[in-house]
Every structure is written in C-alpha cells, then in structure tokens.
Chains A and B, each alone.
Chain A
Amino acid sequence: MSPRRRHLRWLIPVGALPVLLLLGYGFRTDPREIPSPLLGKPAAPFTLKTFDGDQVSLEALRGRVVVVNFWASWCFPACYEEAPALARAWEAYKDRGVTMIGVNIQDKEEPARKFLARFGHTFPNAPDPVGRVSVDYGVYGVPETFFIDRAGRVRGKKVGAVTDELFRREVEPLLSEKG
C-alpha cells in the first residue's frame, strides 16, 4: 500500500460519520411525534354550541387560563384514561381562573353524551361538526389538550392522556402570570 493511500484511509470512517450520526438521530426520533407550530401563537378563536345548548366562545374568556381538550367517545383507552383527571382538574381549578372546554370531534351525539354522563363532566363540552376547530388547532388525533394563557396565546400542548401532575405543571405557571 502506497503512503498516499494509507494517508487517505482515515477518510472512510470520517466520511461515514455524518451518515451514522444522521441515521442515529433519525432512528431515535418518533415519526409520530410532531411538534406543534402553534406554541406561543394566538389561539384560533372559535364559538361552538355546547351539548347543553349554550354558546361557548374563546374570545369571551380572555383573561382566564383556558384548557381546550379534544376528545371522542370512540377514543379508547386514552380519552377514558384522562377523563377522571379532567373532572378532578375542573373541580380543583374552576374557581381559580381556569376554564376548561371539551371539543368533541368526529363523534355521534348519543355516545358523546353517554361519555360525558359516565365521567360526570360538567365543564362546557361542544361538538365540532365539520372539524373546523380541530384543523385550526392542528389536531391530528385524540386526545389532544391545549393550554392557553390569559392573553389568549397557546402555551402548551399535550398529545395523549392528561394526568393530574401534567395538568398542574401546565396550568400553575399560567395562573401565576398577570393577564
């Protein structure tokens, strides 16, 4: 082997290194986990008619911390897992400046109402009949939960079931901010 070729031998591992790094990075990330481009942006306004027949509008809630939860009765088990946590969170925070809104997507009225009754959800819940609100929030599956600050900006997003701990961690800092 000539000295020149021996000199070039290190090029092979060095050339392979970036490829290995790229593959390493690519295989370690979850292709299903997509960052939301909405964080920090103003939350899209919406007005929906709840199952109880009231109007619920995000605009009207400026100054409160708003938690918007997208769910469906067919979303098993994740929506069923988080439902008790949502009920507890509502009881704990409704008098502390937090409003929770459930948005029921791609569902039928009957099973959706059954779901609400089963978990005793008393916070406003409304169907999103044409999916307009879902697309406005970049929802790609249920459950997804958005945490909106007093100024109406999206500050947190959780894909998958919400827990008591996560709810507290997301909401407490927003509550301590001035409106």
Chain B
Amino acid sequence: MSRRVGAALVLVSSLALVAAAPVSEDTVRDIAAQLRCVVCQSLSVADSPSETAHQMREIIRERLAGGETPAQVTAYFVEKYGLWILLSPPKAGFSILVWIVPFAGLLAGLVVVALVVRRWSRRPPPAVAVAPPTDEAMRARIRRELAQTDHD
C-alpha cells in the first residue's frame, strides 16, 4: 500500500516537474547572451552575476514558459529598452552601418595601398650614376686602401 502511495507520489511529482519546467535552460541562456546587462553595460545578461540580470533571466524563463518564442522574448526587451539592449546591433536599418563601415574602410585602405605600391614600382629607375672623374693620384690612393683592406 505504502509502495503504491510512493509510486503515485513519484508520478505526481514528476508530472509537476514536467509541467513546471518546460523551458530549456539552453534557450534561456541563448536569449540572455544576446541581451546587455543594464547595470553593467559590457556584460551580457547570461554572464552578469547582478541581481538585475538574475531577474531578467527569470523573466525570460517566465515568458518562454508562457509560450513565447525566443524571438518574441528578445523583441519584448527591445521594445522596453530599445536596440541598445542587444549586444550585437541588428543587421538592418541604420545599425547596418556598424557592420559595413569597418569593412568598407578596410577595403578602401587596401585600394589606396595597392595604388601607392603600384605607383612606386612603376617609377622609372634612377639614372645610371656617372662616376666622378678621378685623377691618377686618387686612383693610386684607392688601390692603396683596397690593398690595405685585403691585408686586414
């Protein structure tokens, strides 16, 4: 009899668990990782140990449990805090500039470097140096010094 009650208890409690926790913690983490912690601006809600971040994770969990999709949960935070809440700005609208400008700048720089290098390599070689006229005394001195160098 007591065994049956025990089994029933296990069944009931496991059912309660299933009903209470339909939300995957991975999903909560995924969403939290995209959101900026509002009190510690350079951390995500997933990484921040603050009370606010803790509450926000709880709210994410609650909204998922309420049947919202991850996109809807994220949209809720954006609606309340603005795009600022997203750690990566969306690749649309004005924010797309953040994604484009660095690469455009890099490309422009590479083009400038390529043009400059091409100009340098095309420059005509300097005229062949004409040896200054040397007299006999100078030639003798050169020979002498060269010979001395060989001896060293």
Contact = CB atoms under 8 A, between A and B. Distances in A.
A131 interface: yes
A135 B39 contact: no
Nearest to B36: A140
Interface stretch (B13-21, B48-56, B135-143): B48-56
- Counting contact residues on chain B (CB < 8 A from A), the size range is 10 to 19
Contacts of B55: 106, 130-131, 134-135
A130 B77 CA distance: 16
Interface string A128-160: 001110111111110000000000000000000
A130 B52 CA distance: 9
- Counting contact residues on chain A (CB < 8 A from B), the size range is 10 to 19
A17 B71 CA distance: 39
A36 interface: yes
A23 B77 CA distance: 29
A137 B59 contact: no
Interface string A20-60: 00000000000110111110000000000000000000000
A37 B81 contact: yes
Given A106-B51, A140-B39, A141-B38, A132 B59 contact: yes
B4 interface: no
9 closest Cβ pairs, A-B complex: A131-B55, A140-B38, A138-B80, A37-B82, A138-B81, A106-B51, A34-B84, A135-B59, A130-B58
Given A135-B56, A135-B80, 5 more contacts: A131-B52, A131-B55, A131-B58, A132-B59, A139-B38
